[in-house]
Structure 1
Amino acid sequence: MLERIVIPSSVDRRTPPAEIQLWISDARQRIEAFQDRWDRPQIEQFVAADYELVYQSLGWALESQMLIGKRFLEWGCGFAVVSALAGTFDLDVIGIEAEPELLAQGRRLVGEWNADVELIHGNFLPRGGESLADDPTLPSLGHDVPCGYTAVGLELDDFAIVYSYPWPGEDDFHERVFDRYASVGALLMQFCGPNDVRLWRKRG
């Protein structure tokens, strides 16, 4: 089962380093330019998170919570902004993304930022994970791409921290997948909307 860990409301007072603030500003500009293009269809499932709040929350979690390891995984990494930010905390970071165009943007970003992260094309759901959904129309379902874990020779239970930005209505699905497949003691961080970062620990 999952245990909710309350992130204090004061977490947004943690001032990110100047370099991180520049990275976040650069990321916002890249994403806005990408979404303003008229020469290709929009990728509706990609929405930018509040990257500053995620960075602040992750920093607090790493300082205040016991970890079972250093591996960090981003589900559906998109532009890989969170993956790149997590890499500044001395974590071993992997991001998995199903959309090739978003993955290309993510690889460009981490390359230009010189971020030490690994980005994988694939499905972030573990094999069998789709069976835990109670709604067949959830955006996390139906990606006809290889399992992302196979590419790196790892499984979900090899990661200490997982980050996701669930589409409205699928946060509980992400929680069920994590609860089923993650290791005991692992952390799940979710960005669920403005001023709403949630943190869970899997208990035995």
Structure 2
Amino acid sequence: MSGTLSAEEQELEPALRARISALSEEGWEIWRRFDEEVRQENWHPFVPADYDHVLQTLLRLRAPGLRFLELGSATGVITIMADMLGYEAYGIELDGKLVDVARELARRFDSGARFAAGSFLPAGYRYRSRTGDDRIGTIGHGASAYPELRHPLEDFDLVYGYPWHGEEPMMLDLMRAYGGRGARLLLHGGKEGIRIFRDGRREL
């Protein structure tokens, strides 16, 4: 975590704050190794998010009993962080090897976060933009992961995504079509950091 703590971070128990800090540091170390061993040889879409920024948002939105889903959970750092903060946390990742990394990271940090390998698109979903363009912007294809999670998209209160260029309209459409009433979509990226949408409208 950053050197200057927010008011929300200061309210965390020191032991929990230390666990989250260690998780973030481990996440960046995993990324450095992945970049050297995998991305330098073959291009891969995994790029880590700003963990501190995500932490601030999760702290601000947390409440008892909320269920969290990360679309494209990669090494699982954000999903595990959500679990540490009290969310019932799940992640979906297309790359099965990264799912293995996430599960091992969760085990090492004694986290109950759960991960499924596959696509975050529900079976049967078809994207159609207002212009009729059906390109979803998502890199790679796979079977829908929701059966493995045993929760459809509508079961989640917070859904977090770090979209590639072209994916954002699809994620918004996906939540309109399959998201639960009142669920929030957190989209990370760009100059504005994390934007929050609820029932199809920009909330923050």
Please say if residues 70 and 159 of structure 2, whose CA atoms lie closer than 8 Å, have aligned partners that are also in contact: yes
Partner of 1:196: 193
Q: 1:159 and 1:43, CA in 2 relative to 1: closer, same or farther beyond 3 A? A: farther
Question: Does residue 1:180 correspond to 2:184, yes or no?
Answer: no
Q: 1:75 and 1:137, CA in 2 relative to 1: closer, same or farther beyond 3 A? A: closer
Please say if residues 127 and 135 of structure 2, whose CA atoms lie closer than 8 Å, have aligned partners that are also in contact: no
Q: 1:148 and 1:29, CA in 2 relative to 1: closer, same or farther beyond 3 A? A: same
Q: Normalised by the size of structure 1, how large is the TM-score?
A: 0.81
Q: 1:183 and 1:197, CA in 2 relative to 1: closer, same or farther beyond 3 A? A: same
Partner of 2:14: none
Aligned partner of residue 36 in structure 1, secondary structure: helix
Shift of 1:157: 0.6
Q: 1:18 and 1:188, CA in 2 relative to 1: closer, same or farther beyond 3 A? A: same
Q: Normalised by the size of structure 2, how large is the TM-score?
A: 0.81
Partner of 1:45: 45
Question: Does residue 1:119 correspond to 2:115, yes or no?
Answer: yes
Q: Number of matched residues?
A: 188
Percent identical among aligned pairs is 28
Shift of 1:19: 2.4
Aligned partner of residue 169 in structure 1, secondary structure: coil
Report the Cα distance in structure 2 between the residues aligned to 1:53 and 1:175, rounded to whole angstroms: 21
Q: 1:39 and 1:202, CA in 2 relative to 1: closer, same or farther beyond 3 A? A: closer
1:161 to 158, 161, 177: 158
Report the Cα distance in structure 2 between the residues aligned to 1:114 and 1:132, rounded to whole angstroms: 41
Shift of 1:130: 3.8
Report the Cα distance in structure 1 between the residues aligned to 2:29 and 2:46, rounded to whole angstroms: 15
Cα RMSD after superposing both structures: 2.6
Partner of 1:93: 89
Deviates more, 1:194-203 or 1:18-27: 194-203
1:55-108 CA distance string (max 9 Å, x none): 111111226xxx8x5221111110011100000121111111111121121112
- Tell which has more relative contact order, 1 or 2 (C-alpha 8 A, sep 6+): 1
Shift of 1:22: 1.9
Partner of 1:79: 75
What one-letter code is carried by the residue in structure 2 that aligns with 1:166? P
Q: What are structure 2's unaligned runs of at least 5 residues?
A: 11-16
Partner of 1:7: none
